[in-house]
Amino acid sequence: MKIQYISCHAILEYDEVKLLTELGHDVDSNGAYRDPRGAYTLPRPGIEGAKFDQAFCDRTAIFPKTNLPKELIDPYDALIFMSGESEQPLLQNWPNIKHKRVIWRTIGQSTPATERAIAPLIKEGLQVIRYSPKERNISGYAGDDAMIRFYKDPDEFKEWTGVDKRPINFSQSLRGRGRSCHYDEILGSMMGFDGAKVYGTGNADLGMFNGGEVPYWHLKELMQHCRVFVYGGTWPASYTLSFIEAMMTGIPIVAIGKNLMYSPGFEQFDFYEVPEIMQLAGLQTFDDIGAMRNMVQQYLERPELAQEASKKQRQTAIELFGKAGIAKQWADFLG
């Protein structure tokens, strides 16, 4: 198939355009990877095997995603729109693209308002791929055609050692986003442990906890060698990419539970899937910062306990998020 992937999230775009390309599809990415060879400014490398189309790149530089011209519609067998904070590219293009196979791919940003906006399009033929079964708990849920999770390659995220005895976290603008990504819980769980760092952009205001932005190869090394991963999630995502990467690598995760996730001031609905996923691995999440700190300390002081958690997490990650299984689901869906 010839597919246009309209994106708003560079890392997920990289993963899925890469996978669709490997499945044999001709994919043009209307996002960070308009040039699939990549750039040093991107958080992921180039996409091997993807073709660079100069004409496509030139057109997408002129026409915004909200106003695709005929020449950016007609050549495609399918158009995949990634969901995000705004569904405007899909909604504004809909009258001109609804005769095509159009797919809305959710990434954990849906709210009742989003569901209401999408529902009329589903009645007119829009297909929906969800990323978590928890989305069915959103008020006014508009439906789905498939549930395909994000994925990670177990041959790439692997070989956890835990030799670097410190807790880490990966978040963008942790203080700035505050309650939506649980700033208090993450720093409260890491306070007092030597070498504790938060890695990611926009964290200069974290002082001694700021680990800065790291390149892709270093991100994987940190997950391989650090002892504990503290996870706070992001409202309203059921789970995030950093959680999958940590699970797949095998770094023991200390994650907040549902009571901490459902913060006052945010819409309350049962979207957070991490407790159930951790339970599948025979592990737990925590609804108290003191309990999280205690678990971090246990992993730091008891390597055998950390090793046991690592094995359980990785096995569960391969079953839920392994690349081979997710590739088959995409292949079956696209046909």
Contacts 24+ apart (CB under 8 A), 234-237: 234/108, 234/177, 234/180, 234/181, 235/179, 235/180, 235/181, 235/261, 235/263, 235/266, 236/108, 236/109, 236/110, 236/111, 236/266, 236/267, 236/269, 236/271, 237/107, 237/108, 237/109, 237/271
pLDDT, tens only, 171-218: 999 999 888 889 999 999 999 999 999 999 999 999 999 999 999 999
The residue from 124, 148, 172 where one domain ends is 148
What range does the domain containing 89 cover?
2-148
Average pLDDT over every residue of 311-326? 98
Is residue 234, in this structure, part of any structural domain at all?
yes
- Within 8 A by CB and 6+ apart from 165, the residues are 194, 195, 227, 300
We report the CATH number of the domain holding residue 25 as 3.40.50
Q: What is the pLDDT of residue 84?
A: 73
Q: What is the pLDDT of residue 228?
A: 98
The residue from 148, 172, 199 where one domain ends is 148
Give the chain's count of helices (H) and strands (E): 13, 11
Preceding amide of 236 cis, omega within 30: yes
CB 27 within 8 A of CB 15: no
164 forms beta bridges with 226
Euclidean distance between CA atoms 153 and 331, whole angstroms: 17
Q: What is the pLDDT of residue 180?
A: 85
Q: What is the pLDDT of residue 270?
A: 86
30 and 75 in a single domain? The answer is yes
102 and 215 in a single domain? The answer is no
Q: What is the pLDDT of residue 290?
A: 96
> What's the predicted TM-score (pTM) here?
0.94
126 and 174 in a single domain? The answer is no
Per-residue pLDDT at 85 exceeds 70: no
Q: What is the residue-averaged pLDDT of the chain? A: 95
We report the CATH number of the domain holding residue 311 as 3.40.50.2000
Is residue 154, in this structure, part of any structural domain at all?
no
The residue from 148, 183, 203 where one domain ends is 148
Average pLDDT over every residue of 230-241? 92
134 and 248 in a single domain? The answer is no
191 and 71 in a single domain? The answer is no
Is residue 333, in this structure, part of any structural domain at all?
no
Give residue 129's pLDDT band: very low, low, confident or very high (50, 70, 90).
very high
In this predicted model, which residue has the larger pLDDT, 119 or 266?
119
Is residue 35, in this structure, part of any structural domain at all?
yes
Is residue 330, in this structure, part of any structural domain at all?
no
210 and 78 in a single domain? The answer is no
64 and 172 in a single domain? The answer is no
120 and 218 in a single domain? The answer is no
130 and 214 in a single domain? The answer is no
pLDDT, tens only, 50-65: 999 999 999 999 999 9
Total domains in the chain come to: 2
Percent of the chain having pLDDT more than 70? 98
**Neighbour-count burial for 206-230, b at 16+ CB within 10 Å, e otherwise:** beebbbeebeeeebbebbbbbbbbb
Average pLDDT over every residue of 276-304? 97
Q: What is the pLDDT of residue 87?
A: 83
Q: What is the pLDDT of residue 86?
A: 60
- Within 8 A by CB and 6+ apart from 223, the residues are 157, 160, 168, 229, 245, 246, 249, 251
Q: What is the pLDDT of residue 62?
A: 96
Q: What is the DSSP letter of 100?
A: S
DSSP notation for 247-311: HHHTPPEEEB-HHHHS-TTS---S---HHHHHHHTT---BSSHHHHHHHHHHHHH-HHHHHHHHH
225 and 292 in a single domain? The answer is yes
Per-residue pLDDT at 90 exceeds 70: yes
176 and 279 in a single domain? The answer is yes
Euclidean distance between CA atoms 249 and 244, whole angstroms: 8
Is residue 119, in this structure, part of any structural domain at all?
yes
170 and 303 in a single domain? The answer is yes
Nearest to 129 by CA among 317, 332, 322, 273: 332
Is residue 156, in this structure, part of any structural domain at all?
no
Is residue 108, in this structure, part of any structural domain at all?
yes
